[in-house]
Amino acid sequence: MGFAVMPLIRLVRAGYIMAREGVFGLAQLPDLPAGPRIAIACARMLERRSVRDKSAQSRLSDALNRLGPSYVKLGQFLATREDVVGKDAARELSSLQDSLPPFSHEAARKAVAEQLQRPVEEIFVEFGQAVAAASIAQVHPAVVRSRDGTERKVAVKVLRPGVARRFQRDLESFYLVARIAERFHPPSRRLRPVAVVDTLAKSVAMEMDFRLEAAGLSEMAENTAGDPGFRVPEVDWLRTSKGILTMEWIDGRKMSDVGGLRSDGLDLEALGANVIQSFLRHTLRDGFFHADMHQGNLFVEADGTLVAVDFGITGRLSPRERRFLAEILFGFITRNYRRVAEVHFEAGYVPADQDVDMFAQAIRAIGEPIHGHDASEISMARLLTQLFEVTELFEMSTQTQLIMLQKTMVVVEGVARTLNPHLDMWKTAEPVVGTWIRDNLGPVGKIKDAGNLVGSMLRIANDLPIFADRIGRMSYELESMTQNGLRFDKATAEAIGKAEARHTRSGRVALWVIALSLAAIAVKQFL
């Protein structure tokens, strides 16, 4: 009973805090049924007067930060799921700042010692105060001594004490809401709220294991080893564990400091192009990209090299999805709208019973206005929104694997535009997308595909003896079953017996209920 009551109590508290911060005042009352409209009107009576002058983003940010790390992450996660919360709410949530007060220095030192199983003084020459704090972790500057006696500065990311336990507790409340929605609100079942919470739970669990983030940094470093003007910090694996991540300290300027970058004499237009092209290169070439490339996670070194940090959130695309994405982007660049439409059908994004020519016409209505204009006049965010609106008209199902990519593309464009307001997104993207198309869909790509096919056939040939052995065993089992009948082990037989007994009892009860009902009807008729 306590397990069911406590999540409910925590939900009531969350509702109270949201009401106090004016979150319910953001709801569009005329569009809601009478019941929810009355409930929201009552909740608004709890609003603090000071919140009425706040923007929607400030209200959401303040409420979720007051509720703690779990709700901050929930808000950031839902910002990538506009299919669940709607476009307006997703836009407001996307501006949510993941910033919390740091926990104590002593707590951080204790966490480091416990995780690395040594006193802090043995691990680091110096261990400074926190310089940044978010919902899951905070970062400390430190100094380590190498075997040759040289010292170097590092960044130490420390997991918040107790954050995993708190996430687990709050997830119980999220699951409760999701189950209630699925049970009592049939339209929400299409959005699969329980599955949404499952995805959040998995994402947060991975983000709180810093070994996985370290592995992501290592993989990105290998992928981009030969890329001009881009790199990631080097991981110090000996000082890294599940709750501690130690990596190279970056002496660079944050990309949010545009004035400082300009005063450093850096080419802002080239930096903007580098942001766009690096992201597209990672997405198309590697199928592995940084999914949180906002200005706070990007540094610029003195020579103009772009350094990405905080790999807690990453995205992946399969080779098939990369191919479709490249063809769609290249189709827009070359104004081949028929091909863009065909790719949507080939990928299965749009049902086969829709009209390809009509869909191509709709795509043209989106693509034509962007040509001959720069990014100050045409927004990638607006273009993507229009594309999704058009595909909805043609019954395109939600592609969850592309939502994170879509959101990241919008963020990347925003970062590039702060550096160069007149950046032409399509002209900047063409070298990367065009090269990938030529290498993978042109003659060279066909030769690669042929080589991959030959390799796959050789692997199958090597596995043929194993397949033959399995088929032989299967044939023997089928022959034995034909001669002796189907046999179950003892546990299976007992389980079937118990299930049959329950079914029999249920059937008897149902028959008695029917019999008593008929008898009651007969008596009533007789009287």
Catalytic residues: 292
Other Cβ atoms closer than 10 A to 519: 10
10 Å Cβ neighbour count for 110?
14
SS3 state at 159: strand
Reduced to 3 states, what is the DSSP secondary structure of residue 514? helix
User: Kindly report the CA angle at 327 between 406 and 228, in degrees rounded to 5?
Assistant: 70
CA distance 15 to 11: 6
Helix 69-78, helix 193-207: angle, nearest 10: 120
**C-alpha pair distances (Å), 309 with each of 159, 207, 245, 255, 296:** 16, 14, 12, 12, 9
Residue in 220, 219, 221, 211 with CA at minimum distance from that of residue 246: 211
The 10 Å Cβ neighbour count of residue 100 is 16
In a 13 Å sphere around the CA of 460, the CA atoms on its Cβ side amount to 6
Chain Cα centroid distance, residue 291 = 8
Q: Distances from the Cα of 92 to the Cαs of 86, 171, 506, in angstroms?
A: 10, 22, 52
**Helices and strands, number each (H, E), in the chain:** 21, 11
